[in-house]
Amino acid sequence: MTTISINSPTAELQALDAAHHMHPFTANADLAKKGARVITRAEGNWLTDSEGHRILDAMAGLWCVNIGYGRKELAEVAARQMMDLPYYNTFFQTTHVPAIQLAEKIAQLAPGDLNHVFFAGSGSEANDTNLRMVRHYWAAKGKPEKQIVISRKNAYHGSTMAGMSLGGMAGMHKQGGVIQGIHHINQPNWWSEGGDMTPEDFGLARAQELEQAILELGEDRVAAFIGEPVQGAGGVIIPPETYWPEIQRICDKYEILLIVDEVICGFGRTGNWFGSQTFNLRPDIMTIAKGLSSGYLPIGGSVVSDEVAGVIGSAGDFNHGYTYSGHPVAAAVALENLRIIEDEGIVERVRDDIGPYLAQAWHSLGDHPLVGETKIVGMMASLALVPVKGSRAPFAYDAGTVGWRCRERCFGNDLIMRHVGDRMIVSPPLTLTHEEVDILAARARKALDETYEGLKADDMLKPAA
């Protein structure tokens, strides 16, 4: 094995990476030519790369490092737990203290009667659990024909077979086939798809697609609806205010279970512990991961209502589980992460202080000639890039052509801000300081300026015909 360290030359690390490491969601042959950016350290809300750049991480890793990097408490808890009990399973009538404590804590934080947790290793796995659980639930209630789950186009629910099939990403569905019995309705993305409707009318119309789908498929065949409170990977799509109340009404009316995917929105991101509270939802099941451990160790789960857990629990063995369900070290770290969020008032901070401060900074970008709209809830925000200020017309190029240019300018200015199509998105650690918000906004504006100049120089400020 080659001896390397974070002090090895970047080119050597990149060459070795390209030789053996297959990256997710990446054209690896292209990346091999360019070389991956090597991240070596992180502290607070900042990354360091192998070239010595200090980069402001306005994506909190991959929407997960809610409490920021370098929290010693988590490392210490992990070390202690590894010495006490590094692993044991929870399959054969055994349990352990970290899983017991974490499940109790999640039940306490979760809204309504969501009092039961089925642990997984990730958000994808948890959504696999959810698909099996809702189908099994209805079968156990004597309605085995209730099997279909309704989701949305442009939703993201993970990358396993069930996660990907539940999600609505066309590019993923094309690779490897999809699980049957999942039906996709349109997303509540007013900016791109709202036409001449008001956002309120559009939100209502898109929610009512759920009712139409239930009526077409048959109420007796639909098991559940799944949705992210705010679509994250889909571009931080914050639905019109009319959308979620109507979805809740329809789920109640037709006895459809509501699965709220809180993988991104959970644990403070929207200014409450869960997005379900921000949008006044009554889920039957919530998917959790990411911010549950602030990404320090992989852990996810399904938070399940008294009713669903009761039925599943009384129907014999639920033949499902993962080697790492409730992994003691991951559970102990998640518990410590939740303690930090609670003790440091991080959720309240998002709601009352840093969220509003980021909102002000984010909306100030709205005067830029390239920015069509700015949207934010809590600490997740997006802006639409447009060729013509004052119009919602997209660029004359494939979606993402301009967004990619802007993302490159963000990287060039040591800011991690992502693009989804031609929307720019941020989802920073919830521990961001006021000063760091100012830096984020200044670097974003500089990146927008440079993108704009580049587009002008290349004569690309053209709307689609």
| Piece of 99-107, 155-163, 188-196, 448-456 that binds ligand PXG (CB under 6 A) | 155-163
Residue among 122 and 305 whose Cβ is closer to ligand PXG: 122
Contact letters for ligand PXG, residues 206-245 (x by CB under 6 A): ----------------------x---xx------------
Residue among 163 and 372 whose Cβ is closer to ligand PXG: 163
Residue among 122 and 374 whose Cβ is closer to ligand PXG: 122
> In this chain, which of 128, 211, 261, 336 binds ligand PXG, going by CB under 6 A?
261
Residue among 276 and 452 whose Cβ is closer to ligand PXG: 276
Contact letters for ligand PXG, residues 34-73 (x by CB under 6 A): ----------------------------x-----------
Residues 6+ apart with CB under 8 A from 132: 162, 320
Indicate whether 324 belongs to the interface with ligand PXG (CB under 6 A).
Answer: no
Indicate whether 124 belongs to the interface with ligand PXG (CB under 6 A).
Answer: yes
Question: Are the C-beta atoms of residues 90 and 230 closer than 8 Å to each other?
Answer: no
Residue among 286 and 441 whose Cβ is closer to ligand PXG: 286
Least distance from ligand PXG to the Cβ atom of residue 102, Å: 17
Q: What is the largest CA-CA distance in the chain?
A: 67
> In this chain, which of 156, 243, 267, 273 binds ligand PXG, going by CB under 6 A?
156
Q: How many residues bind ligand PXG (CB under 6 A)?
A: 18
Residue among 287 and 451 whose Cβ is closer to ligand PXG: 287
Residue among 158 and 271 whose Cβ is closer to ligand PXG: 158
Residue among 408 and 450 whose Cβ is closer to ligand PXG: 408
**Segment 69-108, which members bind ligand PXG (CB under 6 A)?**
none
Indicate whether 165 belongs to the interface with ligand PXG (CB under 6 A).
Answer: no
Indicate whether 263 belongs to the interface with ligand PXG (CB under 6 A).
Answer: yes
| Piece of 118-126, 307-315, 408-416, 436-444 that binds ligand PXG (CB under 6 A) | 118-126
Question: Are the C-beta atoms of residues 334 and 297 closer than 8 Å to each other?
Answer: yes
Least distance from ligand PXG to the Cβ atom of residue 403, Å: 13
Least distance from ligand PXG to the Cβ atom of residue 201, Å: 27
Residue among 163 and 387 whose Cβ is closer to ligand PXG: 163
Indicate whether 301 belongs to the interface with ligand PXG (CB under 6 A).
Answer: no
Q: Which residues bind ligand PXG (CB under 6 A)?
A: 62, 122-124, 127, 156-158, 163, 228, 232-233, 261, 263-264, 287, 289, 300
